[in-house]
Amino acid sequence: DSGVTQTPKHLITATGQRVTLRCSPRSGDLSVYWYQQSLDQGLQFLIQYYNGEERAKGNILERFSAQQFPDLHSELNLSSLELGDSALYFCASSVGGVEEKLFFGSGTQLSVL
Amino acid sequence: GENVEQHPSTLSVQEGDSAVIKCTYSDSASNYFPWYKQELGKGPQLIIDIRSNVGEKKDQRIAVTLNKTAKHFSLHITETQPEDSAVYFCAAGPGNQFYFGTGTSLTVIP
């Protein structure tokens, strides 16, 4: 158990809908990262937050947004969903903003029908 | 941005044999190279990492080598066991923003 909690584990929705994925980092970790894992794209870095502030942005679509709250949990919001957004979404956390050792949650499997 | 290539995509070895997975990267600014193991239904788990000022690092049956000049790094697993069966990902990047390879599915045959 990595100590990173992601909910829900599975999510099934329809095209055009909006969903929210939630992540609670390990106790004491200030950074949260979001990754998307699909069969054809592998693990793609989406975005990183450090202590409530956006720190780095990767291949995140404009339809996606994230935030980190004062209690350090994070939410990834996916809107106007398309079939191609179906993937496994991972959250990871680390101690500090430039601490490289990431601890991953078990992921949220999103299926867009 | 960084481009990480990983080979092979699948690898089958007999129990007790060694397994080697190779990765190349493109960005010379990358200075951190972790390896993650992902078991079915779980998130990736860090198994070993190496920084650019080190050429080799070993942890029991697992070792990683780095050739900065050639921009490639490798994972070596010796005396493989069935529990080593998983998908392995290499990654490279400058500090906290790193990019993953496409993964190697390792199967250890008892």
Query: Could you report the per-residue pLDDT of A44-66, keeping only the tens digit for each?
Result: 999 999 999 999 898 899 999 99
pLDDT at position B48 is 96
pLDDT digits (tens, 9 = 90+) for B89-103: 999 987 667 889 999
| Secondary structure, 3-state, A48-101 | EEECCEEEEECCCCCCEEEEECCCCCEEEEECCCCHHHCEEEEEEEECCCCCCC
Average pLDDT over chain A, rounded to an integer: 93
Biggest CA-to-CA distance, chain B: 41
**pLDDT score of B80 more than 70:** yes
Judge whether B44 is closer than 8 Å to chain A, CB to CB.
yes
- A106 and B41 within 8 Å at the Cβ level: the answer is yes
What is residue B1's predicted lDDT score, i.e. its pLDDT? 73
| Pairing mode of beta strands B104-109, B10-14 | parallel
In angstroms, the separation between the Cα of residue B102 and the nearest Cα of chain A is: 5
Is the minimum CB–CB distance between B49 and chain A shorter than 8 Å?
yes
The CA distance from A83 to A14, in Å, is 8
A97, pLDDT greater than 80: no
Measured CA to CA, the distance from residue A100 to residue A92 in angstroms comes to 11
Q: Which residues pair with A39 in a beta bridge?
A: none
Burial B80-106 (b: 16+ CB within 10 A, else e): beeebbbbbbbbbbbebbbbbbbbbeb
* Cα–Cα distance measured from residue B76 to residue B11, given in angstroms and rounded to the nearest whole number: 13
Predicted local confidence at residue B96, as pLDDT? 65
Nearest CB among A100, A103, A104 relative to B95 is that of A100
Range with the poorest average pLDDT among A42-46, A63-67, B61-65:
A42-46
Over residues B44-72, mean pLDDT: 93
Measure the CA–CA gap between B24 and B91, rounded to whole angstroms: 9
3-state secondary structure of B11: strand
B2-6, B82-86, B102-106: which has the minimum mean pLDDT? B2-6
Q: What type of residue sits at position B30?
A: S
β strands within chain B, DSSP E: 4-7, 10-14, 19-25, 32-38, 45-51, 56-59, 62-67, 72-77, 86-92, 99-100, 104-109
How far apart (Å, rounded) are the C-alpha atoms in residues A38 and B96?
Answer: 21
State which residue of chain A sits closest to B40, comparing Cα positions. A106
Position B9 scores a pLDDT of 95
- Give the model's pLDDT for residue B53: 84
CB pair distance less than 8 Å for A45 and B97: yes
**pLDDT for the residue numbered A1:** 82
pLDDT of residue A109 exceeding 80, the answer is yes
- Would the pLDDT of A2 be above 90? no
Q: Per-residue pLDDT tens for A70-89? A: 999 999 999 999 999 999 99
